[in-house]
Chains A and B, each alone.
Chain A
Amino acid sequence: MVRLFGPLVGLFFAVALLWSFGNGAYSAITEPAAPTAEHEFHLHPKDVKFASDGVFGKYDKQQLQRGFQVYKEVCATCHSLKHVAFRDLANLGYSEGEVKAIAKQWGTKQPTFDEKSGERAERDNIASDYIPTVYYAGQGVPPDLSLIAKARHNGGAYVYSLLTGYQEQPAELLKKFPDSKTPDGLYYNPYFANLNLAMPAPIASDDQVAYSDGTKATVDQMSKDVSAFLMWTAEPKADKRKQTGWAVLGFLLAATVLAYLAKKNVWADKH
């Protein structure tokens, strides 16, 4: 029975697939897919190095502090960071007192609700609070940035490329795709998936942020610092993960060598 029906079922699927293939090939020849501006002008992230790259990489805490400053003074106006608590900032090298001060002075306050009176109010943030959500009144929804570096391919380089990638729309693009002119209120950026995004270049000029550690606050430097900071917010345990990994691999390597020798020993008389 199986030998009778098997080939018939096989033929059925084969013919159905040939039918799809033939139709697909015909329409691919008669009406080839039109090229799109996204396809031709979208760029992969720039090649940029971070201290945390690679299996030996570690976060540069000085850079993360600068990046946090850029986030606080530039990005935090519109973008939330809701998975990060103020207490987490201690991992960037801030002292307990500094963390408390950062929380207390944070621009967006912590909303409160009094169940007895039904009144809504606000209070200062404390170290154990998560960074409060920003309510953005303008058009569009600025994404929460906590995980942005893991939510895009090659996320750290992506954020850096996006921040430094704003430019005039190339004349070549307009010539080839006259309908793809960047609409009013959007900004051209080839590192963004559909080339036009609602966010104007947030880091526009040197010294937009005043660094206290003597680093020159160029647009490039600030973009790199905030990208490094967002890589940390996305994966705060990366340093510990790699450190643990080396210990685990070291143990496993020794154990595997022993297991190999044991295997050889046991099998010595059977080969």
Chain B
Amino acid sequence: MSFPWANEYKPAFGLTQWLDEKLPLPRFVYNAVGAGYPVPRNLNYMWNFGVLAGFCLVLQIVTGVILAMHYAPNALVAFDSTEHIMRDVNWGWMMRYAHANGASAFFVVVYLHIFRGFFYSSYKAPREMIWLLGVVIFLLMMATAFMGYVLPWGQMSFWGAKVITGLFGAIPVVGEPLQIWLLGGFAPDNAALNRFFSLHFLLPFVIAGVIILHIWALHIPGSSNPTGVEVKAESDTVPFHPYYTAKDGFGLGVFLLIYCAILFFAPNALGHPDNYIPANPLSTPAHIVPEWYFWPFYAILRAFTYDFFFIPAKLMGVLAMFGSILVWFFLPWLDTSPVRSGHYRPLFRKFFWFGLIPTMAILFYCGGAPAEEPFVMLSQLASLYYFAHFLIILPLVSSIEKPEPLPFSITEAVLGKDESAVLNANPAAA
């Protein structure tokens, strides 16, 4: 589906006409990300991150497939084969650093993409399905990134795998057998490493599949926009190509500049030094921490330090950590305000900038810090606000807030109000 004024694909050459009859793939691309897709004309730079996330996935698949040609998923040689890539494979160091920092870059752009969704309430009807599929993609990304970090088989790989698979052990009754079954042993070893490698190779293609659904679902209502006012007329939109291909091209350039600066000049800044120590089941690192992009969720996991009635603290932590992301699935129905954009929601905006954002920053910091005071108490308070924000504050704000007046249309928001066109505003003309 698209707007009635969308440009129609008209193949100009004999070959493309022939192809359009047999397999209209060029038509499909034209309607998806070409001149055939009308997009609101007022998108700001926060709308660049979807395309950037797609770019990151392709980057990760390309570098990852090349790394897999040289990597050996065996506990005896995995660490050494990674060093072999770094030292002896032509440009191997660049592939590995591009892949490791590519994961970080992927999470940066996806987090910005999600926060765009939070602020502009992109999850609201009619776009719930896009949002739900997005959360699925995020969960798949987390699983993929976690398993990828295990592959170099360094100290943090091993102990990270032990801690995270240990979470399944918190499930009552079936937990322990489940954990052993998932790992293929009592602790992470060759069986676990092999299946993690297999799944780490598979999941990105599953992600690619869900991304296709995500974009398909997007094309039914069309893109949202910073005013949150739906498209009303042709003057509200511009064709995706060349307008947004040009804008995304510039965004991609800025992204690549930052990404390559880190890749070539500080490639280990985002990693943990302990992962350059080979995995050793007999020596526990002083502080086991996941990669930075998991820190907020790790802080929530560790915030539960005392058993809550009959529920063990560990199980509470696991429930809360998964719950902290699962709650996003319910956002479209928790936030019932008819106004989408945070720009026109004074109360929502306050809780967003002075509640949610600082909370995420505190959780992020505490997740990377050692499990000592005051970080534990800080993360408890921040986790409390996190759940309260989504489950209590957001529904309340939606019902008591009085939104500010919305612009009549996207065109008006961009070009300003045409006073002479407003009925009864200019009695002299009547």
Interface string of A227-271 (1 = CB under 8 A from B): 000000010110001101110110011011001101101110011
Q: How many whole Å from A192's CB to the nearest CB in chain B?
A: 12
Q: Is the CB of A249 within 8 A of B260?
A: yes
Q: Is the CB of A259 within 8 A of B387?
A: no
Neighbour of A263 across the interface among B246, B257, B263, B334, CB < 8 A:
B246
Neighbour of B392 across the interface among A7, A143, A241, A246, CB < 8 A:
A7
Q: Is the CB of A7 within 8 A of B268?
A: no
Stretch at the interface among B119-127, B191-199, B273-281, B288-296: B273-281
Q: List chain A residues, Cβ under 8 A from B313.
A: 20
Q: How many whole Å from A122's CB to the nearest CB in chain B?
A: 22
A9 to B323, CA, bound (A): 10
Query: Does B383 touch A at the CB level, under 8 Å?
Result: yes
Neighbour of A249 across the interface among B257, B327, B334, CB < 8 A:
B257
Stretch at the interface among B2-10, B27-35, B61-69, B374-382: B374-382
A19 to B381, CA, bound (A): 11
Neighbour of A3 across the interface among B249, B267, B268, B395, CB < 8 A:
B395
Query: Does B87 touch A at the CB level, under 8 Å?
Result: yes
Query: Does B172 touch A at the CB level, under 8 Å?
Result: no
Q: How many whole Å from A52's CB to the nearest CB in chain B?
A: 12
Q: Is the CB of B246 within 8 A of A17?
A: no
Most chain A CB neighbours (cut-off 10 Å) among B261, B263, B265, B334: B265
Interface string of A145-168 (1 = CB under 8 A from B): 011001111010000000000000
Q: List chain A residues, Cβ under 8 A from B143.
A: none
Query: Does B187 touch A at the CB level, under 8 Å?
Result: no
Q: Number of residues in A with C-beta < 8 Å to the partner?
A: 56
Q: List chain A residues, Cβ under 8 A from B327.
A: 9
Residue on A nearest B334 in the bound complex, by CB:
A6
A132 to B391, CA, bound (A): 60
A17-B383, A234-B276 known; A88-B308 Cβ under 8 A: no
- Apart from A20-B380, A21-B377, A267-B243, what are 16 other A-B pairs with CB-CB below 8 Å? A3-B334, A6-B330, A7-B395, A9-B387, A10-B391, A13-B323, A19-B306, A23-B305, A24-B305, A25-B377, A151-B276, A237-B86, A252-B253, A255-B253, A256-B257, A260-B250
- Chain A interfacial positions (CB closer than 8 Å to B): 2-3, 6-7, 9-11, 13-21, 23-25, 28, 33, 55, 83, 88, 143, 146-147, 150-153, 155, 193, 234, 236-237, 241-242, 244-246, 248-249, 252-253, 255-256, 259-260, 262-263, 265-267, 270-271
Closest 8 pairs between A and B when the two form their complex, measured CB to CB: A245-B264, A10-B391, A256-B253, A151-B276, A2-B333, A21-B380, A266-B246, A259-B250
